[in-house]
Amino acid sequence: MERKNKDSQKGGVTRRAFLKAAGMAGVAASTIGFPAVLRGAKPKEILIGSIHPITGPCAYDGTSLAQAVQLAVDQKNAAGGIKSMGGAKIKVLLKDTESKPKVGQAAAEKLIRDGCVSLLGCYNSPVTIVTTKVAEMHRIPHIITVAVADEILQRGFKYTFRVQPDTTDMGEYTTKYIRELSDRHNMNLKTIAIMQISGFGSVIAKKVSVFAPKLGFEIIGSQSYGYGVSDLSTEVAKIKDMKSDVIVDVGYLADGILKLKTYDALKVEPRGGIFGCANGGFSNPATVKELGRVAEYLMDGNYGINPISSFAQSVNAEYNKRYTKVIFQSHCPPTYDATLVLLDALERAASTDPEKLREAIAQTSLSRIISPGGPVEFDATGQNKNALPTLMQVQDREVKVILPEEYANAKPRYPVPPRSTWS
């Protein structure tokens, strides 16, 4: 599959939830009372802010991101710190968002007051919409670790940057991968039904709906559900009754596990398979560990690790050696890479001056990353032009990359065999 080089951010439909969150920021705090960041000095310690949900419904995912930030910083400190600033060490100040925009806003303001020269965060797109607004007001660089909504970078901000693919990338590439598998295996797949969580899931669903007809698919229906559900039997039954060739599924980790259990119980087996798209659970080792055979053959178009990179594999191993309760997952590579971007920019800027740091980030060309694709280079909106989603599949209880072939460490097992044969 030919990769695209995105020179500008493509449009997206602004979801009410996202705009409501952005408006909620209201960010009434003025810059008065916020201490000036060291400008041009050679500090002994450089503070950076990590804003992630480490409690609440997304605690597992948020913790994985916070750990990835800390690992990258610890490795840089162990290698001598920021050499251009006399070996200054970096200190991470971690704040919990609880996946709530107002909490994220307060966290961003507090970290800036405490002297952080940059912010990293936040996982939930509505929260990130707010924290990036705070950072923009105070002219502090904010590098997104994970937050997929296109809308974040459609506000003309100059201090926000994103390494990972956005919703346009996710919808386009995942749909292309489905078509590629269909053509390669003479499946003649024609119809798609979409199951999505409200909020970011609805935005992803709209992106899939835009690209699907261009690739010969008809969207025959969709089914949404709310955040924090405890039962999805009705919704899954409705998706099954649509009798589509393919199901595209968007959600987080907890609801993803619940859906997979329900798909299994109701024997949902579309002939073209079930594909995640930016799904927080479908390419997550935690899902595989919990569900075993139920997760076998599952596919997901998402960001993740470059499995053919020795550097990426060494980071994966170090992460899982250090952190055993919340293990390395697909959210970790873009977060680790986002932290590398900041550390590289600090080194090149040789200053904690936010204007010089922002300029250094904007001029990034970083090839030593652990995600597929690269180098990391930002367009005028702050989006990484070379961000690349891959298609992953669970094979023998391991998450493998199957497309594009240049980054694959396994061949697709496709068509998916009947559920009754899974072991």
How far apart CA 406 and CA 400 sit, in angstroms, is 13
**Distance between CA atoms of 337 and 384, rounded to whole angstroms?**
11
How sure is the predictor about 41, in pLDDT bands with cuts at 50, 70 and 90?
A: low
C-alpha span between 331 and 124 (Å, rounded)? 12
pLDDT of residue 24: 42
What homologous superfamily is domain 16-165+308-362 in, according to CATH? Answer: Response regulator (3.40.50.2300)
Helices (H), 185-274: 200-211, 233-241, 253-265
Asked if the model's pLDDT at residue 29 lies above 60, the reply is no
Q: Is the pLDDT of residue 36 over 70?
A: no
Is pLDDT of 228 > 90? no
pLDDT of residue 317: 97
Q: pTM for the full model? A: 0.86
- pLDDT score of 4 more than 80: no
> Residue 78 to residues 73, 75, 89, 342: CA-CA distances in angstroms?
9, 5, 9, 16
Per residue in 191-217, pLDDT tens? Answer: 999 999 988 889 999 999 999 999 999
**With contact defined as beta carbons under 8 Å apart, do 266 and 237 qualify?**
yes
Contact assessment for residue 253 and residue 61, using Cβ atoms and an 8 Å cutoff: yes
* The predicted structure's pLDDT at residue 370: 97
315-369 pLDDT tens trace: 999 999 999 999 999 899 999 999 999 999 999 999 999 999 999 999 999 999 9
**27-41, 173-187, 257-271, 382-396: least confident range:** 27-41
pLDDT averaged over every residue in the chain: 90
- Residue 252: Cβ-neighbour burial (10 angstroms; 0-12, 13-18, 19+): buried
The DSSP letter of residue 366 is: B
pLDDT digits (tens, 9 = 90+) for 55-101: 998 999 999 999 999 999 999 999 999 999 999 999 999 999 999 99
Mean pLDDT of 120-134: 96
Helix (H) or strand (E) run with residue 23 in it: helix 16-25
At residue 31 the predicted structure's pLDDT band, cuts being 50, 70 and 90, is very low
Which strand (E) or helix (H) includes residue 16? helix 16-25
Domain ranges of the chain: 16-165+308-362, 168-302+390-421
Residue 170 neighbours by CB under 8 Å, 6+ apart: 148, 204, 207, 277, 278, 301, 302, 389
Cβ(388)–Cβ(333) below 8 Å = no
Same fold, 16-165+308-362 and 168-302+390-421: yes
Sheet harboring 119-121: ordered strands across? 89-96, 45-52, 119-121, 142-144, 160-162
Residue 379's pLDDT band (cuts 50, 70, 90) = very high
Task: Residues 168-302+390-421: name the CATH superfamily.
Answer: Response regulator (3.40.50.2300)
